[in-house]
């Protein structure tokens, strides 16, 4: 154990340094609670839905999954599923701004604006943890920013949304997801709230980081290809949207699983977790993503089996396995 100049006692554990007492980490709490809620709610909806009030099913299900679930009160609290666009209208610029701030901090050796430091301390707890090497932070933010802008392009210029709705709660969670994800990376970066000079040495990145980056970029590209397949189901040969109905997707990853969008998203966050393996809070982000995406893939598979008579024999989310 060691103590800093302010008298705060820290516990040393291998490469990690944790204060024995700190204020609440709101970002960690948000992702942990949501991950557990999806896991628990998923078990209830998947296996005991017949015993649940319709209000529970209506809150948990959205889009095509809730077509047979009716609740007049909760329907007033729904927003169009096409509002998914807003997630990336926010995430693209926000991730870019975070990358600029981190560059400013590490390459200009200057302190972040006081308002940014206060927000980080409020959301991540005090004292802030200095866990993630500067190179890993910048590398991860570059990859995440690419992914966010790619998703912006997909949702604004490729995807053809149905007229389905989702509960307003999911909409708010989606916005906070990207806020929390980016804050979790920046907030635990090495000496991020200080003004000391930090040596940024890119040779510290190993083959592991570059392998994860390659896998991540391939996954986000496959996600892009999957969204093109889904969009083309609602277009004619000239590329004109002719329907918003659901049709059975086929080709590429759809030949193997029902949830290629979910699988690629999970791979992306696992790769980021490995790149940010010295982090603490970000792994709760990945936990939430895995719980949420597995449940989405399961619901999608069950819905497709019931909806399409000639639905091909494919797994839920892991090719040949599950």
pLDDT digits (tens, 9 = 90+) for 21-42: 567 899 999 999 999 999 998 8
Q: Say what the pLDDT of residue 44 is.
A: 86
What is the percent of the chain where pLDDT is above 90?
60
Q: Say what the pLDDT of residue 2 is.
A: 46
Say yes or no to pLDDT of 63 above 50. yes
Report the alpha-carbon distance of residue 202 to residue 135 in Å, rounded: 6
Question: Mean per-residue pLDDT for 50-78?
Answer: 71
Question: How buried is residue 84: exposed, middle or buried, by Cβ count under 10 Å (0-12/13-18/19+)?
Answer: buried
User: What are the tokens at 100?
Assistant: 């600029």
Q: Model confidence over 217-273: pLDDT tens digits?
A: 999 999 999 999 999 999 988 888 888 888 899 988 999 999 999 999 999 999 999
Q: Say what the pLDDT of residue 222 is.
A: 97
Contact 154, 228 (CB under 8 A): no
Contact 121, 213 (CB under 8 A): no
Contact 48, 57 (CB under 8 A): no
Q: Model confidence over 188-229: pLDDT tens digits?
A: 999 998 888 899 999 999 999 999 999 999 999 999 999 999
Report the alpha-carbon distance of residue 294 to residue 263 in Å, rounded: 8
Per-residue CA distances from 254 to 215, 268, 315 (Å) = 19, 18, 9
Q: Break the chain into its structural domains and give their ranges.
A: 25-307
User: What are the tokens at 166?
Assistant: 């989702």
pTM over the 0.85 mark: yes
Report the alpha-carbon distance of residue 128 to residue 143 in Å, rounded: 24
Peptide linkage before 244 cis (omega within 30 of 0): no
Contact 62, 165 (CB under 8 A): yes
Specify the 3-state DSSP secondary structure of 307.
Answer: helix
What is the per-residue DSSP string for 37-86?
HHHHHHHHHHHHGGGS-HHHHHHH--GGGGTT---HHHHTTEEEGGGHHH
Contact 312, 250 (CB under 8 A): yes
Q: Say what the pLDDT of residue 4 is.
A: 44
pLDDT band at 70; cut points 50, 70, 90 = low
Say yes or no to pLDDT of 122 above 80. yes
């Amino acid at each position: 154990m060691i103590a800093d100049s302010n008298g705060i006692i820290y516990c040393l554990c291998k490469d990690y340094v944790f204060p024995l007492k700190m204020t609440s980490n709101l970002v960690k709490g948000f992702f942990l609670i949501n991950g557990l809620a999806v896991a628990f709610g998923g078990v209830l909806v998947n296996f005991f839905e017949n015993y649940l009030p319709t209000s529970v099913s209506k809150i948990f299900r959205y889009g095509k999954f809730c077509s047979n679930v009716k609740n007049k009160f909760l329907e007033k609290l729904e927003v169009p599923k096409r509002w998914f666009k807003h997630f990336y209208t926010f995430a693209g610029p926000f991730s870019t701004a975070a990358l600029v701030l981190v560059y400013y901090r590490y390459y200009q050796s200057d302190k972040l604006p006081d308002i940014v430091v206060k927000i980080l301390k409020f959301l991540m707890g005090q004292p802030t943890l200095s866990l993630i090497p500067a190179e890993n932070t910048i590398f991860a933010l570059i990859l995440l920013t690419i992914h966010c802008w790619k998703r912006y392009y997909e949702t604004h210029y490729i995807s053809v949304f149905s007229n389905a709705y989702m509960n307003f709660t999911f909409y708010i969670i989606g916005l906070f997801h990207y806020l929390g994800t980016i804050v979790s990376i920046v907030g635990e970066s090495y000496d991020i709230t200080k003004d000391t000079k930090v040596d940024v040495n890119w040779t510290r990145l190993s083959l592991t980081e570059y392998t994860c980056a390659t896998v991540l970029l391939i996954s986000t590209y496959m996600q892009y290809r999957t969204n093109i397949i889904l969009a083309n189901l609602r277009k004619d040969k000239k590329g004109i949207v002719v329907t918003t109905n659901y049709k059975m997707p086929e080709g590429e990853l759809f030949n193997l699983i029902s949830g290629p969008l979910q699988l690629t998203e999970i791979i992306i966050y696992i790769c980021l977790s490995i790149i940010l393996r010295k982090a603490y809070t970000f792994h709760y982000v990945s936990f939430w993503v895995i719980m949420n995406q597995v449940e989405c893939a399961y619901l999608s598979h069950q819905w497709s089996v019931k909806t399409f008579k000639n639905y091909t024999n494919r797994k839920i989310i892991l090719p040949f396995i599950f």
